[in-house]
């Protein structure tokens, strides 16, 4: 696509995972609320019925009286049909089902491994990657063959490995991964300015933050507001709330959701390493030794939550019912923005205003002391038909060993998945910090059983 001449009101977006009951609805609403772009969204999903329902919901969103633009929605029968001629590709899929995720998250608990999320690193993240990478090989090959010039936005976890797989399959792909975890830490800094300095009305977009690291283990090495260095204030803020935790919703608000936290892990990491950890506590806790996740009591002490897969299954039932109600008209469409930046980055790539955001892309030197080619999360400047990584500088020495271990594990995870290399897979699995207290024999037994639970999604070579 030559985006210098492309009519921004005749766009084609291929949505892979078009039956999504969460991300897709949010993206549809974001598009409908924006007056500057318009076009067609092709929905492709292995669950065609779900995609058909989203087509109806998309049409209802587009017909809402408060929409700023009208989008057409069509269901595609194949990746080829969805991708051919697409200007943009959005990937938002659930790799497998929640039954497999139940194995990811809960089987390791018998060895004392407690995972708040289980979708990025640790035993659960590794197994999720094993079934996700083959899917992304297929998607990457299809983009190479049918939409090589398209810009590709990934929302699927494990984020780093999904994006890394796309580039391994098709090095010329124009892909990036979006994650909102950094947004929460930026909002925390705004809350800090309000509560500690009485400065109200600061938005996260008003801050300048240098983002470094990898997805869900991101860090801020600088943070300023109107030229003011926020690190000294943050250091005082951390000391004030390190033990009690900080939550705008109240002292115990973190207990009212499986996703909230009181920031105690984030504060503890700052006290240890002098750098602002910039993801939610549930994710951060999984990247280090089990300091914060030794058992459920420890998790509760640090004031965050373990998210049981039973909750996710119940939530899915409720979202399925919501889908039914929206399709039937029992519930009306509520038109509100998602808070995500995907559609804004899409606009920037079309030349509708430059924008800087934190995204996951291969390391081209923006972090000079991490391996080139590894997918890292830093700021990048989006403009007409380009993404320019913003130089983040070297990762501070205090946290470099923590991050490098995971970068190398992720590279080995990709190699093991592509080669169906059981030996490399096992050593990589055992090298995760969360398994530091597990004996090799117990770890291998867990690995074998968890891998068996992925059999339906893995090449048969794994089991020969």
Question: What is the distance of C-alpha 184 from the center of its chain?
Answer: 13
Cα→Cα distances 426→107, 188, 420, 421, 456, Å: 16, 38, 11, 9, 19
| End-to-end CA, the chain | 44
For the record, the structure tokens of 326 come out as 């929206």
List strand residue ranges (DSSP E) for 245-314, in order. 276-277
Cα→Cα distances 135→128, 159, 203, Å: 11, 13, 38
393: left (phi over 0), alpha (psi -120 to 50) or beta: left
Neighbours of 10 (CB within 10 A): 11
Cα→Cα distances 207→25, 199, 203, Å: 29, 13, 7
Q: Check if the beta carbon of residue 90 is closer than 8 Å to that of residue 139.
A: no
The secondary element (H helix, E strand) that includes residue 425 is helix 422-430
Q: How far apart are CA 45 and CA 43, in angstroms?
A: 7
Q: How far apart are CA 264 and CA 254, in angstroms?
A: 11
Catalytic residue among 64, 106, 180, 258: 180
Which residues lie closer than 8 Å to 121 by C-beta, 6 or more apart?
Answer: 158, 216, 217, 286, 287, 406, 409, 432, 434
Q: How far apart are CA 85 and CA 98, in angstroms?
A: 33
Q: How far apart are CA 95 and CA 457, in angstroms?
A: 9
User: Which of 47, 70, 59 minimizes the C-alpha distance to 329?
Assistant: 59
Q: What is the DSSP letter of 127?
A: H
Q: How far apart are CA 273 and CA 399, in angstroms?
A: 7
Angle between helices 309-328 and 48-63 (to 10 degrees): 60
CA dihedral 302, 303, 307, 310 (to 10 degrees): 120
User: Which of 435, 150, 52, 116 minimizes the C-alpha distance to 306?
Assistant: 116
Look up 180 and say whether it is catalytic. Answer: yes
Catalytic residue numbers read: 180
């Amino acid at each position: 696509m030559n985006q210098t001449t492309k009519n921004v009101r005749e766009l084609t977006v291929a949505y892979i995972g078009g039956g999504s009951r969460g991300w897709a609805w949010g993206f549809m609403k974001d598009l409908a609320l924006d007056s500057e772009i318009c076009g067609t969204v092709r929905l492709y999903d292995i669950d065609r019925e779900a995609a058909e329902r989203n087509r109806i919901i998309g049409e209802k969103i587009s017909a809402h009286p408060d929409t700023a633009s009208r989008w057409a929605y069509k269901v595609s029968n194949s990746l080829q049909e969805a991708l051919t001629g697409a200007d943009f590709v959005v990937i938002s899929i659930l790799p497998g089902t929640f039954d497999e995720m139940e194995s990811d998250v809960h089987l390791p608990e018998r060895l004392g491994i407690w995972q708040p999320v289980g979708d990025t690193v640790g035993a659960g993240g590794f197994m999720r990657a094993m079934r996700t990478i083959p899917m992304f090989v297929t998607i990457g090959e299809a983009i190479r063959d049918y939409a090589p010039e398209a810009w590709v936005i990934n929302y699927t976890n494990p984020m780093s490995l999904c994006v890394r797989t796309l580039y391994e399959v098709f090095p010329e792909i124009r892909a990036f991964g979006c994650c909102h975890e950094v947004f929460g830490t930026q909002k925390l800094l705004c809350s800090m300015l309000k509560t500690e300095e009485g400065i109200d009305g600061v938005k996260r977009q008003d801050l300048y933050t240098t983002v470094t690291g990898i997805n869900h283990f991101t860090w801020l090495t600088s943070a300023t507001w109107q030229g003011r260095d926020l690190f000294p204030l943050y250091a005082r803020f951390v000391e004030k709330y390190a033990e009690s935790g900080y939550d705008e919703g109240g002292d115990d608000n973190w207990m009212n959701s499986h996703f909230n936290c009181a920031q105690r892990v984030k504060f503890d990491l700052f006290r240890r390493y002098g750098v602002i950890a910039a993801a939610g506590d549930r994710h951060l806790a999984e990247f280090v030794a089990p300091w914060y996740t030794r058992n459920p009591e420890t998790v509760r002490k640090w004031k965050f939550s373990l998210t049981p897969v039973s909750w996710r299954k119940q939530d899915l039932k409720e979202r399925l019912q919501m889908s039914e109600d929206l399709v039937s008209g029992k519930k009306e469409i509520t038109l509100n923005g998602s808070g995500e930046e995907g559609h804004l980055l899409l606009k920037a790539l079309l030349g509708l205003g430059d924008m800087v955001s934190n995204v996951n892309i291969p390391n081209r030197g923006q972090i000079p002391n991490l391996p080139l080619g590894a997918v890292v999360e830093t700021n990048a400047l989006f403009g007409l038909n380009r993404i320019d990584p913003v130089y983040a500088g070297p990762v501070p020495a205090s946290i470099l060993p923590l991050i490098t271990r995971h970068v190398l594990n992720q590279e080995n995870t990709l190699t093991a998945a592509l080669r169906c290399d059981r030996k490399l897979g096992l050593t990589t699995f055992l090298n995760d910090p969360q398994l530091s207290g597990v004996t090799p024999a117990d770890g291998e037994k867990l690995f074998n059983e968890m891998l068996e639970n992925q059999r339906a999604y893995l090449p048969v070579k794994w089991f020969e």
